[in-house]
Amino acid sequence: MTIIVHHLENSRSQRVLWMLEELGLPYEVKRYERDKRTMLAPDELKRVHPLGKSPIIEDRETGLVVAESGAILSYLVDRAGGTLGAPMDDEDGLRFRFWMHYAEGSMMPPLLLRLAMSRVPLFGRAAMRRVQPMIDVHLDYVESELSQRPWFAGEEISAVDVMMSFPLEAARSRAGLDSSRPATMAWLDTIQARPAYQAALAKGGPYSYA
């Protein structure tokens, strides 16, 4: 099985490469650069999937094209026979499902809003001050959870840790995540020190940590 990852620089697709490295699945990387003026993905990606966004994977064995980070990670878990999937314990399994949806459904929207506002003169600064408290609620919640267990779904790393990497890297980069939340910072240090994470960085090219 060889999977093609349509990989956009400085994007969510970096975590797909990390996931593949953790699973040990063979893959190829097709890199795309952002438009230097708009920072959007190139139109070339629309020939792979109508939305024209990354990440997208193509599975040569099944012929399937899969988009959306959560769907991709779930697909890869299945292709790897359940490795890094939901824990058998009911409570941890529920955590797994929660965090898989939470990453993009709850945490990323205010982070993206803050990023957009940071590019708007004058009004943007005022808006950012309104958005930051929303982000802090999420950061405090994540900190409280990681203070109770080493990984998001329990005692072992799983796909939801890969899923949560992007919003928390974004938060550290531009939204106030720092040493005042030590459990979260320790988690970030732990994932970024993993050999699979480092291998994914080497294959993916430049990554500005969101």
Looking at the fold, whether 114 and 19 belong to one and the same domain comes out as no
Rounded distance between C-alpha atoms, residue 116 and residue 123, angstroms: 11
Domain span at 148:
90-194
- Rounded to the nearest angstrom, the gap between the alpha carbon of residue 57 and the centroid of all alpha carbons in its chain is 15
Summarize pLDDT for 47-97 with one digit per residue, the tens. Answer: 888 988 889 999 999 999 999 999 999 999 999 999 999 999 999 999 999
* pLDDT range class, residue 210, cuts 50, 70, 90: very low
pLDDT tens digits along 10-21:
788 999 999 999
The answer to whether the CB of 169 falls within 8 A of the CB of 11 is: no
Residue 165, Cβ neighbours under 10 Å: how many? Answer: 23
* Contact between 69 and 162 (Cβ < 8 Å): no
On whether residue 8 sits in a domain, the answer given is yes
Indicate whether 205 belongs to any domain. no
Q: Within this chain, do residues 158 and 177 fall inside the same structural domain, yes or no?
A: yes
Write out pLDDT tens, residues 150-209. Answer: 999 999 999 999 999 999 999 999 899 999 999 999 999 999 999 999 999 999 887 876
Whether residue 188 sits in one domain with residue 97:
yes
Q: Indicate the residue among 51, 84, 117 that finishes a domain.
A: 84
Q: Considering only CA atoms, which of 58, 63, 96, 72 is closest in space to residue 19? A: 72
> Does 1 score more than 80 pLDDT?
no
Answer whether 166's CB lies under 8 Å from 102's CB: no
The Cα–Cα gap between 39 and 138 comes to: 26
User: CATH number, domain at 159?
Assistant: 1.20.1050.10
Cα–Cα distance for residue pair 86/84, rounded to 1 Å = 7
pLDDT at 140 > cutoff 80: yes
Query: Residue 130 domain-assigned?
Result: yes
Q: What's the pLDDT at 27?
A: 96
Domain co-membership, 187 together with 103: yes
β-sheet with 56-59: strand ranges across: 27-32, 3-8, 56-59, 65-67
Residues 31 and 121 in one domain: no
Residue 31: its H or E element: strand 27-32
Query: Where among 23, 55, 84 does a domain terminate?
Result: 84
145 within some domain: yes
Chain centroid to Cα 51, Å, comes to 18
Nearest to 163 by CA among 150, 153, 175, 173: 153
pTM of the predicted protein model: 0.92
Q: Does some domain include residue 163?
A: yes
> Cβ distance 89 to 80 under 8 Å?
no
Helix %, strand %, coil % of the chain (to 5): 55, 10, 35
Closest CA to 139 of 187, 107, 101, 179: 107
CATH at residue 35: 3.40.30.10
Looking at the domain assignment, is residue 203 inside a domain?
no
Looking at 47, 65, 84, the residue that finishes a domain is 84
| pLDDT for position 120 | 76
What's the total number of domains in the chain? 2
Q: CA angle, 28 as apex, 24 and 34 as ends, to 5°? A: 120
**Unique residue bearing structure tokens 């802090």:** 136
Query: Which pLDDT value is given to residue 92?
Result: 97
